[in-house]
Amino acid sequence: MSGAVPALRMPPAGRSAGGWRAFVTRPLGTAVIRTATLVILLAAWEWMSGTIIPKFWISSPSAIVAVLAGWIADYSLFGHVAATLTEMVLGYVVGAAFAIACGLCLGLLPRVERITAPVVTALYALPKIALTPLFVIAFGIGLESKIVLVASTVFFLILYNTLDGVRDIDRDLVEALEIMGATRREIVHKALVPATLPWIFTGLRVAVRYAFTAAILGELMASNEGIGYLIEASAGDYNTAGVYAAVFVLVVFSVLFTELLTRTEASSLRWRV
């Protein structure tokens, strides 16, 4: 027979919160461990360079900092960063604009889309960086060739996203609107655009990374400016410290972009700890 039993006072069940495991997973603990690890690694690096491992291979934190300081002091770093960013932004805007326009047109003309599909797929399959020499021959070694490269890289990505967006239209909604007597224009406004926008935005967000990569790669191949140029030029001079320094700048901006993008959408990074 069941019935209420007077409440018993007992200590809380379950594991007690304490011990090193808890410390490590708390924010403070994690930060401490990470900083400590970083400092230790840097110190070890500095020590190993020249003693155990030749400077050529790994350089040293002090040398790298020196190079960076030099670049900042003579303002050259800013010029290079500006060049890369310019290529990125201009290429991105051009590529995205074309892509959205084409995407919407093709989306609205399914027959045309299907006819052009094989050609588009084949062009997409070609690694765009392979086009760099072509662009350089056509546009020179300056920013223009990289802008075109960035634009062509970004184009396909956003094109496909836009197309997906157009295809994503809720059939029921379109039919409901048709029955209500909406004109084609109204349907475009009320059904097509809202359906496509999220896809376009996703494409735009993802494309930032690709724009950055394309700009750097283009500079690696042929340029006289930019972060990629710094990497390649230093490598050409066998200036390992310079390579690392330039890579460091690259990493800084990469992380910056990623953080920016993460914050503009809740779940962009697919993995979380």
Partner 1 sequence: MSTATQIALEGASKEFVGRGETVLALQPTSIEIARERFVALVGPSGCGKSTVLNMIAGLQQPTSGRVVYDGNPVTGPNRQVGYMTQKDTLLPWRSVADNIGLALELKIRSTSRSDRDNRVAQMIELVGLKGFERHYPGELSGGMRKRVSLARSLIYEPETLLMDEPFAALDAQLRLVMHDELLRLTRLRRMTVVFVTHDLGEAITLADLVVVFTGRPGRIKTLREIPLAHPRDAFRLRFSEDFARLHEELWNELKDEVAKGTDR
Partner 2 sequence: MTFSATRSSAGTRADERFILLGRVGLVLAILLVWELGGRLGDPTWVSAPSLIVLRLLRWAGDDLFAHVATTVAEMAMGLTIGVPAGVLAGIFLGRAPVLSALLRPIIVGFYSVPLVTLAPLLILWFGLDMEPKVVLVSVVVFFLIFFNTFSGVQAVDKDLIASLVLMGASPREEFQKLILPASSAWILSGLKIALPYALIAATVGEMIAARRGLGFLVTRSASQIDMTGLYAALVVLMLIGVAVGTAANALEGRILRWRVSGR
Site for partner 2 in 204-233 (CB under 8 A): 209, 212-213, 216-217, 220-221, 228, 231-232
Span interacting with partner 1, options 9-17, 42-50, 56-64, 206-214, rule CB under 8 A: 9-17
Give the chain as a DSSP string.
Answer: -----PPPP-PPPS--S-HHHHHHHSHHHHHHHHHHHHHHHHHHHHHHBTTTB-HHHH--HHHHHHHHHHHHHTTHHHHHHHHHHHHHHHHHHHHHHHHHHHHHHHHH-HHHHHHHHHHHHHHHHS-GGGGHHHHHHHH-SSHHHHHHHHHHHHHHHHHHHHHHHHHT--HHHHHHHHHHT--HHHHIIIIIHHHHHHHHHHHHHHHHHHHHHHHHHHHHHS-SSSHHHHHHHHHHTT-HHHHHHHHHHHHHHHHHHHHHHHHHSTT-SS---
Q: Supply the minimum distance, in Å, between the C-beta of residue 224 and partner 2.
A: 16
Question: With binding defined as CB under 8 A, does residue 25 bind partner 1?
Answer: no
- Find residue 53's DSSP bridge partners: 49
- By CB under 8 A, how many residues form the interface with partner 2? 75
Binding to partner 2 by CB under 8 A, coded x per residue (else -) over 120-159, reads -xxxxxxx-xxxxxx-xx----------------------
Span interacting with partner 2, options 47-55, 63-71, 94-102, 242-250, rule CB under 8 A: 242-250
Answer for the pair 111, 54: CB distance below 8 angstroms, yes or no: no
Toward partner 1, which CB reaches closer, 9 or 171?
Answer: 9
Q: Which residues contact 208 (CB under 8 A, 6 or more apart)?
A: 92, 257, 261
Q: Supply the minimum distance, in Å, between the C-beta of residue 136 and partner 2.
A: 7
Q: Supply the minimum distance, in Å, between the C-beta of residue 3 and partner 1.
A: 7
Of the candidate residues 10, 17, 119, 125, the single one contacting partner 1 (CB under 8 A): 10
Toward partner 2, which CB reaches closer, 42 or 137?
Answer: 137
Question: With binding defined as CB under 8 A, does residue 6 bind partner 1?
Answer: yes
Question: With binding defined as CB under 8 A, does residue 14 bind partner 1?
Answer: yes
Answer for the pair 144, 134: CB distance below 8 angstroms, yes or no: no
Q: Supply the minimum distance, in Å, between the C-beta of residue 6 and partner 1.
A: 7
Q: Supply the minimum distance, in Å, between the C-beta of residue 5 and partner 2.
A: 26
Q: Supply the minimum distance, in Å, between the C-beta of residue 234 and partner 2.
A: 8
Question: With binding defined as CB under 8 A, does residue 169 bind partner 2?
Answer: yes
Span interacting with partner 2, options 21-29, 73-81, 141-149, 200-208, rule CB under 8 A: 21-29
Q: Which residues contact 168 (CB under 8 A, 6 or more apart)?
A: 195, 196, 199
Question: With binding defined as CB under 8 A, does residue 57 bind partner 2?
Answer: yes
Q: Supply the minimum distance, in Å, between the C-beta of residue 11 and partner 1.
A: 8
> Pick from 148, 261, 163: which is nearest to 214 by CA?
148
Binding-site ranges for partner 1 (CB under 8 A): 1-10, 12-14
